[in-house]
Amino acid sequence: MQYTKLGNSDLTVSRICMGCMGFGEAGNGQHSWTIDEEHSREIIKEGLELGVNFFDTAVGYQSGTSEQYVGRALRDFAKREDVVVATKFLPRTQEEIRQGITGQEHIERLINTSLKNLGLDYVDLYIYHMWDYETPLYDIMEGLNRIVKEGKARYIGISNCFAYQLAKANALAKKEGFPKFVSIQGHYNLIFREEEREMAKLCAEDNIAMTPYSALAGGRLSKRPGETSKRLEEDSYAKFKYDATAQQDQVIIDRVADLADKRGVSMTEISLAWLLTRVTAPVVGATKLHHIQGAAKAVDLVLTEEEKNYLEEAYVPHKLVGVMAQNTPAAAKQEHVWSTGSQKIVTK
């Protein structure tokens, strides 16, 4: 495993971040295909043995059960100081807004809930899961400043935002003496490269870490025609993101398969090796042991310029999909993509 600093923080992270969205009680949340605690623990243990020290979850994953599984496993298998734990919080709900709960109070409630789920005193990275168009930015940044000062989070990151929003937030933080966002978790992979337009340039200039999700496009970049999985069959949200461009994307997926054959490695290794040339640490989901094993191998695979060009040249621009397409000012009062589900939110 290789390690690097996470942007402008002093956190040393593995080049592969284990994405924990696939862990949690199946059906108790957005996904039906998640795996139980026993299998989650096996994968987390294997990841640790392979040198993975960076784990990403969220309060919205399977009603908090992802955080619970991750927290218990890390307490059993690792020393707290040896791992970097990231979790994410959601925008205020319309109910909270009606109740008069401020952005700061909302952040305090959700970090407390996450810490209880994880069984931890603090998280290393607290991530703003999607832009809250109903809450003033100052309220969000001041709320995050408070929890950093309280020692509940060491650093803050952001996910699912535009480059102008990240620049605006960090400019406000600089002006007010608040912590800045040190990382961005956006949707980025070989078949969805829209982050290269502006976000990647901003991150390079300001040393903001890119830790993209959907690194393998929900498994599409790791499977040959005819191969399937429970997730590929049941993940309706991933279908919503990728089905419309499946024909043009298949050209690139076929090139990944071709290159994997030529190099004698897996498609996972090729796809991630390409992404690792452009980002700090991709967030790689794993629901089977070989998923994390393949991801770890990708760190040592070096692609030639010709190979990278072969993978890149067939790409055509894509429309925004997923959270970025759905989470708009016009849709802000509607039900969010993610929710905290059935869990009880800690108020103190």
Helix axes 305-312, 267-276, angle to 10 degrees: 100
Tokens of 122: 């603090």
Residue 295 · residue 289 · CB < 8 Å: no
- Annotation says 155 is catalytic: no
Residue 328 · residue 44 · CB < 8 Å: no
Give the SS3 label for residue 110: helix
Tokens of 146: 């408070």
Give the SS3 label for residue 43: helix
Catalytic residue among 61, 126, 128, 188: 61
Please tell me the distance from the alpha carbon of residue 156 to that of residue 107, in angstroms, as a whole number.
12
Residues in the chain: 348
Please tell me the distance from the alpha carbon of residue 252 to that of residue 308, in angstroms, as a whole number.
11
DSSP result, 277-308: TTSS--EEE-SSHHHHHHHHHHTT----HHHH
Q: Kindly list the catalytic residues.
A: 61
